[in-house]
Amino acid sequence: MKKIMILAAVAATTLFLLPNAFAQQTAQPPVNGNGSNAATAEKIDQDSKNLDAIIKDINTKIQTVIQKNKMMENNDIKIIPYQTDYTLEKDYIQIERHVFVRDNYDKIVGERRKIVKFWVTGGNLSKVESVIYERDYNASDEMTVEIIDSTPLNDNKDNLTIKQTRNKKVQIEGKLLSDVKNTTAFPVRNEFKRDFYIQHLSYFYNTILGIAETYSKSAKDSDAAVTEFLKKSTQY
C-alpha cells in the first residue's frame, strides 16, 4: 500500500484531501474567454455565505433530531449502523464511523475513522467537534485532523478551528478557517466547506436521524406487540 501522504476523509460519497487544501498553490487563475477571472471576489464571498447557510441548516436539523427524540435522555439505543459506534455522555453524543483498509490479499493494512461529538447545552446544540483519522500500518504513518465549530447555529462559519497532527507531531495548531486562502484563483475555504464539511455533517445528520428513527420504530413495534397481547386477555 502506498505510503499515506494525505488525509482521506471517508464520507459516503466524498474523499476530502485536507493537507492539499493548505498547501501552497502554484497554478494560474482560471480565466474565461475574455481573459478575466472566471470567479469574482464578490461571487466567492457570496458562495461562502451560501455555504455557511447550508452548514447552519444541517446543524439546526441535527439539533431538531436530538430534541425531538430526547436523545440526551435515552440510554436504550442499541441498534446502530454497521461499523458505527454510538456513545451518550452527560453533555454530548459521540458517533464514530470506522473502516479497515485491506490490501489485495485481504490483509488489514490500515484504518480510517471519522468521529463527531454533538455537544448539547440546555437542550440546544452548542458545539460540534469532528475528528478525521487515518493510519497506515505498513508505513507506520498516521494523520489526525480535528475541526471545532464552537457556534454551530451561527451564520458565519469562518470561525471554525482546525488542528492537524501527523505521527503525534502538531503541524497545524488552532488555525481559523478565516485564515485559509479564499481568492478567485484558489477558493480553498469554499472548497473546504462545500467538498468536505457539508458532506461530513450531512453524513452524520443522516446517521443520527437513522438511529433515532430505528429506535422509535423498534419501540413502537414492541409497544404494539404488548398491546395486542393484552387485548387478547379481554377475551377470557
Residue 28 lies in a domain: no
Distance CA 193, CA 152 (A): 13
End-to-end CA distance of the chain: 69
Residue 26 lies in a domain: no
- CA 231 vs CA 174, 222, 224, 234: distances in Å: 61, 14, 10, 6
Range of the domain at 140: 8-21+44-233
Residue 110 lies in a domain: yes
Contact criterion met (CB below 8 Å) for 166 and 143: yes
Residues 6+ apart with CB under 8 A from 133: 111, 112, 113, 114, 115, 142, 143, 144, 145
Residue 225 lies in a domain: yes
User: Taking the model in full, what pTM does it have?
Assistant: 0.78
Q: Which residue has the cell 482521506?
A: 8
> For all residues of the chain together, what is the average pLDDT?
82
Residue 34 lies in a domain: no
Burial class (CB in 10 A: 0-12, 13-18, 19+), 61: middle
> Could you report the per-residue pLDDT of 191-205, keeping only the tens digit for each?
999 999 999 999 999
Distance CA 126, CA 209 (A): 18
Residues 6+ apart with CB under 8 A from 89: none
**Angle of the 41-68 helix axis to the 198-233 helix axis, nearest 10:** 20
Residue 207 lies in a domain: yes
Residue 89 lies in a domain: yes
- CA 209 vs CA 64, 161, 201: distances in Å: 10, 26, 12
pLDDT of residue 9 exceeding 80, the answer is no
Residue 3 lies in a domain: no
What is residue 97's predicted lDDT score, i.e. its pLDDT? 96
Residues 6+ apart with CB under 8 A from 73: none
> Could you report the per-residue pLDDT of 88-119, keeping only the tens digit for each?
999 999 999 999 999 999 999 999 999 999 99
> Could you report the per-residue pLDDT of 59-69, keeping only the tens digit for each?
999 999 999 99
What is residue 199's predicted lDDT score, i.e. its pLDDT? 96
The one-letter code for the residue type at 125 is L
Question: Could you tell me what percent of the chain has a pLDDT over 70?
Answer: 75
Q: How many separate domains does the chain show?
A: 1
